[in-house]
Chain A
Amino acid sequence: MSEMRWHPLLEQWIITATHRQRRTYHPPRGYCPFCPSSKARGFTEVPRAEYDIVVFENRFPTLQQHPPRPAVLGSSLTPVGVSRGICEVVLYSPEHEQTFAGLPIVQIYKLVRVWSDRYRELGARRFVHYVLIFENKGAPVGVTLTHPHGQIYAFPFVPSLIERELAASRRYFSRERNCLKCALAARERRERKRIIFSSQYFESFVPFYARWPYEVHVQPRRHVQDLTQLTDGERWSLARMLKRVTQTYDALFGFSLPYMMLLHQQPTDGHRHGHYHFHIEFLPPNRTADKLKYLAGSETGAGSFSNDTLPEQTAAALRRAMRRVKS
């Protein structure tokens, strides 16, 4: 059973998807459903052994192209909707042991182009109002299939966190006639303390207002709203930047760091969002090498984040880690 139920206090949709309880959870050792099919391992999700990048519909999707009718009746107090959307899996490589940080830059460039194509193609469908491209990496963020992959959710609505970003960006633009993210990046450039790496087209920094200790934002210097607006030079620059950020994460504590990576692009809801600035957020759950930040009472129950570290100090630690990558 699957439907969208309206949360009237938070004014957002909650998606039920009971079929997802059956999804693959820690497959048997030696079996990976994302590795190419072979005589030895049998049939998997990917019939072909050689490919650049593969995209396929999730076998256990939260949102479906042809969803069932809601199992419950809605009311004016608590409306119910069909959970129509698309959920895709993006495989970065046929190699099971690979990670994003280990991918050659040319492979990340290809991935950027595939992301851009998926954003354009999914966003062109009338029922898709928002395309969220993301990667969950590592057991602490719930990953049970370790094959290098990301996901795409094509939502029939604009998710609430994005709505808040859009509203703040819109308000700032109408007040200052300037982009909020451009203004914040200019401040980071002036102060320099939280910048991790700058290139001709992109920059990465721990934001002044980081919610997670090692949170990093990657954003283009040029004011663009989504991936499709990037030039080829900018796509290469983004690929190099993403490689560098993920390598820096792995050098930080000496192990492959878990994270959530989220591409924040403009909605595809038919409205104009020229005030919005495309960016990528990296949210690693580690606050030290062996301690995690949990979203507990304050964060989950009240939406109030506390950060046990100072962004200026974690940025300095990330810069030191980055120098270790270079040497």
Chain B
Amino acid sequence: MKKEDIRRPDGRYLIYYSFDPSETTPLASRKPPKRAKRRAAARRRGR
């Protein structure tokens, strides 16, 4: 989650919130990173 804080001329703040798509994927459906995949494959090969 990123926040961009802007100050208006009258002194009031305004904050834009933005999210990276990878942050807004439910954990259960998140793909494991490639590094984790490579390690898992290596474990299966018995390395």
Within 8 A of A (CB), among B1-28: 1, 3, 6, 8, 12-19, 24, 26-28
Partner of B12 from the list A52, A53, A57, A117 (CB cut-off 8 Å) is A57
Least CB distance from A117 to B in Å reads 7
Chain A: minimal CB distance from B43 (Å): 26
Which residues of B have CB within 8 Å of A52?
A: 16-19
Q: Which of A90-127 contact B (CB under 8 A)?
A: 106, 109-110, 113-114, 117
Given known A106-B24, A109-B24, A233-B27, contact A114–B17 (CB-CB < 8 A): yes
With A109-B24, A117-B1, A233-B27: A59-B17 Cβ-Cβ less than 8 Å: no
Chain B residues contacting A55 (CB-CB under 8 Å) are 14-15, 17
A230 within 8 A of B: no
Contact call A232/B17, Cβ cutoff below 8 A:
no
| CB of A134 within 8 Å of the partner chain | no
With beta carbons under 8 angstroms apart, the residue of A45, A46, A117, A236 that contacts B26 is A236
The docked-state distance in angstroms from the alpha carbon of A246 to that of B15 is 26
Closest Cβ of chain B to A99, distance in Å, is: 20
Least CB distance from B26 to A in Å reads 5
A-B contact count (CB 8 A): 49
A56 to B28, CA, bound (A): 33
A51 touches B17 (CB 8 A): yes
B14 with A46: CB separation less than 8 A: yes
Nearest Cβ in chain B — how far from A192, in angstroms? 28
Q: How far is the CB of B10 from chain A (nearest CB, A)?
A: 8
A113/B14 in contact, CB under 8 A: no
CB pair A53 B24 closer than 8 Å: no
* A54–B14 touching, CB < 8 Å: yes
Using an 8 Å CB-CB cutoff, how does the interface string of A273-288 with B read, 1 for contact, 0 for none? 0000000000000000
Query: When chains A and B are docked, how far (Å) is the Cα of A113 from the Cα of B15?
Result: 14
Q: A114 contacts which chain B residues (CB < 8 A)?
A: 1, 17
Q: Nearest residue in A to B21 (C-beta to C-beta)?
A: A106
Q: List residues of chain A with CB within 8 A of the CB of B26.
A: 233, 236
**Residues of the B chain whose Cβ atoms lie less than 8 Å from the Cβ of A106:** 24
Interchain CB contact under 8 A, B12 and A59: yes
Q: Is A48 an interface residue (CB 8 A)?
A: yes
Say whether A53 contacts B17, CB under 8 Å.
Answer: yes
- Inter-subunit contact A51/B24 (CB<8 Å): no
Residues in A neighbouring B27, C-beta threshold 8 A: 232-233, 236
The distance in angstroms between the C-alpha atoms of A117 and B18, with both chains bound, is: 13
State how many angstroms separate the Cβ of B47 from the closest Cβ of chain A: 32
Cα(A59)–Cα(B12), bound, Å: 8
B7 to chain A, nearest CB (A): 10
In the assembled complex, which residues on chain A have CB atoms less than 8 Å from the CB atom of B19?
Answer: 52, 110, 113
Task: Report the Cα distance A59→B28, complex, angstroms.
Answer: 41
6 contacts between A and B (CB under 8 A): A56-B15, A110-B19, A110-B24, A113-B1, A232-B27, A236-B26
Q: A110-B19, A113-B1, A117-B1 are in contact. List 16 more A-B contacts (CB 8 A).
A: A47-B14, A52-B17, A54-B14, A54-B15, A54-B17, A56-B8, A56-B12, A56-B14, A56-B15, A57-B13, A57-B14, A59-B12, A109-B24, A114-B17, A117-B17, A233-B27
Binding site for A on B (CB under 8 A): 1, 3, 6, 8, 12-19, 24, 26-28
